[in-house]
Amino acid sequence: MRVFDSITDFMNKRQSLDGPLGFVPTMGALHDGHESLVKRSLRENKNTVVSIYVNPTQFDSNEDLEAYPETLLKDSEKLEFLGVDALLLPKLTQMYPDSFRYEITEKDFSYEMCGAYRSGHFVGVLTVVMKLLNIVRPNRAYFGEKDYQQYSLIKDMVEAFFLDVEIIPCPIVRDPDGLALSSRNLNLSSCQRIKAPLIYELISSKSSDDEVRLKLTKEGFDVEYVQTKFGRRFIAAKIGTDPSIRLIDNVELMT
């Protein structure tokens, strides 16, 4: 596996990569959910590139950014073992040489659900993904359905700007108790980890959105939203304090 901490060096190497190229953008702290994306890319493409970049422009607080887990050595070893061809580790000054002067803004869906509670979050997400897609120039890019709103916005952005890449959604990977895998799960205390699967249990139940919110609130969760849209039920809820840990999930509803 080649490791690139220079965008210029990677782009020079990209010119020599022939055949289908798959891309998995991540912020590190890799888990089995990320691994499922990488494995699918490896099956479907001649070359697979993974990026690890904790993008500061998509965080709505410095506290949240600083709390994001970092496991770069372990991540790199895992990706090499899987057979990834290249790992891209861009630096902040390379990604934002203009100090975030230019940005990608969506004027509708990005203000709902997570966007209603995380100011500027999707501006940061869409901007960094646009940059990464232009750097890597993949044929296919893989995104997990746990962040379904993010996936939907990225897919629509690619279509709106006529980018020549297929955005592929991949199913949520869960622990045996139903908790959706997330890098933020590393920050859960043992007691919080025991309680967290209640989110999946309730959104998968026949309870209404309001009933789910009420039940989780009674259990000590700070529920931002429970919303049914696109045939799915979406949720974001925080657990704990100082700092709280924000968990999101969604399930496809049976008709």
28 is in an annotated binding site: yes
Give yes or no: 121 in active site.
no
Which amino acid, one-letter code, is at 140? R
116 is in an annotated binding site: no
CA 215 to chain CA mean position, Å = 27
24 is in an annotated binding site: no
- The rounded radius of gyration (Å) of the Cα atoms in the chain is 18
Q: Say which of 4, 22, 34, 212 is annotated catalytic.
A: 34
Determine the angle formed by the axes of helices 121-136 and 7-14, rounding to 10 degrees: 50
220 is in an annotated binding site: no
CA separation for the pair 3, 85 (Å, rounded) = 9
222 is in an annotated binding site: no
Is the separation of the CB atoms in 11 and 86 below 8 Å? no
147 is in an annotated binding site: yes
29 is in an annotated binding site: yes
Secondary structure class of 88 (helix, strand, coil): strand
254 is in an annotated binding site: no
CB count within 10 Å of CB 209 equals: 15
First to last CA, the chain: 45
173 is in an annotated binding site: yes
Phi/psi of residue 58, nearest 5 degrees? -100, 0
| Residue ranges at the known binding site for (R)-pantoate | 58, 150
| Residue ranges at the known binding site for ATP | 27-34, 144-147, 173, 181-184
**Which residues belong to the active site?**
34
| Residue ranges at the known binding site | 27-34, 58, 144-147, 150, 173, 181-184
| Residue ranges at the known binding site for beta-alanine | 58
